[in-house]
């Protein structure tokens, strides 16, 4: 207080409060003079509706993850979304006790960390399947992972994170980086922070288990989650649009020539008749792209197919 008010100002303020000349706020005191307990505000998600990109991200992640994990285990893998919701990080920690193992990762260039968890049933079913056993007969009571089994599980986690990176790239150019310290999630994520919780069910050989992704909510709002997001997002969408345009099919036609016919000649035309065109033999033919004259060239043959060699470009008027 001495750094804000001088000593004589502090004494004058205290005298004014005790003498009743300055009104004080008594709302925090009960009728009998007791102190009213402070009730902290409840967590409320920043948005009632889910991010629009979440549906597309889920669809892509389900497809990529099931294919990538099946490639690692060499067996068919089914995967579906159980639920998705926006909650506080503290709620996810209370429900994470049922999960056997988790990894912490960061989605660059976003700030903050996310984590991926799998339950014991899914972990040991994958381990059994990777060694040729039956995933439906795996037992988990009192079981721990050996060093070789741990290596298999790390490969699976790596495959899942790679699938997430691939799924996310429709929106941003990102890199999913696994963090070495597993305890980093409790240090870098604020308990009251809002996160998007995605819970999936993965099935293999009749055995199913749960997989959960927990991603900071601000990752879905590029203005808050990524530095210089406006310009970077614009650049990414511009590149994606350009790539899509380059993949679009374009119709190209080569005009051999034209001929004028009367209605009578057209009605009496038969198989074997010869049409005399207005183009001279050996003259350059017009190539149209999307109906617009673009090139001139000559026709020929490439192996067993007809071909067209471009000689020059038509000058635009």
Q: What is the pLDDT of residues 17-42, one digit of tens each?
A: 555 555 555 554 555 555 556 555 55
For residue 209, the domain's CATH number is: 3.40.1550.10
Does the residue 8 lie in any domain? no
Task: Please tell me whether residues 220 and 82 are part of one structural domain.
Answer: yes
Task: Please tell me whether residues 211 and 78 are part of one structural domain.
Answer: yes
Task: Please tell me whether residues 173 and 226 are part of one structural domain.
Answer: yes
Distance CA 102, CA 87 (A): 19
Closest among 111, 207, 101, 74 to 157, alpha carbons compared = 101
Three-class DSSP category at 256: coil
Query: What confidence score (pLDDT) does residue 234 get?
Result: 56
Say what the pTM is: 0.53
Task: Please tell me whether residues 172 and 110 are part of one structural domain.
Answer: yes
Distance CA 116, CA 156 (A): 12
Three-class DSSP category at 202: strand
Give the pair of three-digit tokens for residue 44: 């409320």
Give residue-wise pLDDT tens across range 216-238: 887 776 444 444 444 455 566 67
Please, are residues 214 and 193 in contact by the beta-carbon 8 Å criterion?
no
Query: What confidence score (pLDDT) does residue 258 get?
Result: 87
Task: Please tell me whether residues 162 and 309 are part of one structural domain.
Answer: no
Give the pair of three-digit tokens for residue 50: 């889910």
Per-residue buried b or exposed e for 233-255, using 16+ beta carbons within 10 Å of the residue's own CB: beebeeeeeeeeeeeeeeeeebe
* Residue ranges with strand state E in 77-165: 78-88, 99-108, 114-119
Task: Please tell me whether residues 288 and 191 are part of one structural domain.
Answer: no
Distance CA 189, CA 113 (A): 7
Q: Which residues contact 153 (CB under 8 A, 6 or more apart)?
A: 101, 123, 126, 127, 145
Task: Please tell me whether residues 231 and 310 are part of one structural domain.
Answer: no
Count, in order, helices (H) and strands (E) of the chain. 9, 10
Place of tokens 């990894």: 103
Give residue-wise pLDDT tens across range 83-103: 888 887 777 666 655 566 778
Domain count, the chain: 2
- Mean pLDDT, the chain, integer: 77
Distance CA 308, CA 303 (A): 13
139 pLDDT above the threshold of 70: no
Q: Pick the residue with more confidence: 264 or 242? A: 264
Does the residue 178 lie in any domain? yes
Task: Please tell me whether residues 214 and 234 are part of one structural domain.
Answer: yes
Does the residue 16 lie in any domain? no
Helix (H) or strand (E) run with residue 306 in it: strand 305-313
Give residue-wise pLDDT tens across range 166-195: 988 877 778 888 887 544 544 455 556 788
Please, are residues 129 and 203 in contact by the beta-carbon 8 Å criterion?
no
Task: Please tell me whether residues 233 and 254 are part of one structural domain.
Answer: no
Helix (H) or strand (E) run with residue 208 in it: strand 207-216
For residue 309, the domain's CATH number is: 2.30.330.10
Does the residue 173 lie in any domain? yes
Does the residue 114 lie in any domain? yes
Query: What confidence score (pLDDT) does residue 68 get?
Result: 92
Find the domain containing 120 and state its range: 53-244
Task: Please tell me whether residues 284 and 135 are part of one structural domain.
Answer: no
Does the residue 143 lie in any domain? yes
Does the residue 47 lie in any domain? no
Task: Please tell me whether residues 164 and 295 are part of one structural domain.
Answer: no
First-to-last alpha carbon distance for the chain, in angstroms, is 80
142 pLDDT above the threshold of 70: no
Cis check: omega of the bond before 46, within 30 degrees of 0: no
Please, are residues 104 and 114 in contact by the beta-carbon 8 Å criterion?
yes
Task: Please tell me whether residues 239 and 283 are part of one structural domain.
Answer: no
């Amino acid at each position: 207080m001495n750094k804000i008010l001088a000593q004589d100002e502090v004494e004058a303020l205290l005298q004014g409060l005790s003498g009743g000349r300055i009104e004080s706020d008594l709302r925090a005191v009960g009728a009998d003079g007791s102190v009213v307990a402070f009730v902290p505000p409840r967590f409320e998600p920043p948005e009632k509706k889910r991010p629009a990109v979440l549906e597309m991200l889920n669809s892509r992640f389900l497809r990529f993850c099931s294919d990538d994990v099946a490639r690692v285990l060499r067996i068919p893998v089914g995967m579906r979304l159980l639920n998705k919701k926006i909650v506080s990080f503290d709620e996810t920690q209370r429900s994470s006790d049922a999960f056997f193992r988790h990894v912490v990762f960061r989605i660059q260039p976003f700030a903050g960390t996310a984590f991926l968890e799998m339950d014991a049933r899914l972990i040991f079913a994958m381990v059994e399947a990777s060694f040729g056993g039956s995933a439906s007969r795996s037992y988990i009571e009192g079981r721990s992972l050996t060093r070789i089994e741990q290596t298999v599980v790390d490969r699976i986690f790596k495959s899942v994170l790679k699938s997430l990176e691939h799924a996310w790239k429709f929106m941003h150019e990102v890199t999913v980086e696994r963090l070495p310290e597993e305890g980093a999630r409790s240090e870098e994520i604020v308990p009251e922070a809002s996160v998007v919780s995605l819970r999936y069910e993965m099935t293999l050989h009749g055995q199913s288990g749960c997989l959960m992704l927990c991603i900071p909510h601000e990752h879905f709002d590029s203005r808050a989650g990524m530095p210089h997001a406006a310009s970077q997002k614009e650049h990414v969408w511009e590149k994606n649009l350009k790539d899509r345009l380059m993949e679009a099919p374009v119709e190209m036609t080569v005009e051999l020539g034209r001929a004028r016919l009367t209605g009578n000649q057209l009605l009496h035309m038969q198989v074997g008749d010869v049409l005399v065109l207005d183009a001279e033999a050996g003259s350059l033919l017009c190539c149209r792209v999307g109906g617009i004259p673009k090139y001139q060239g000559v026709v020929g043959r490439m192996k067993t197919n007809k071909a067209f060699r471009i000689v020059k470009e038509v000058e635009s008027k």
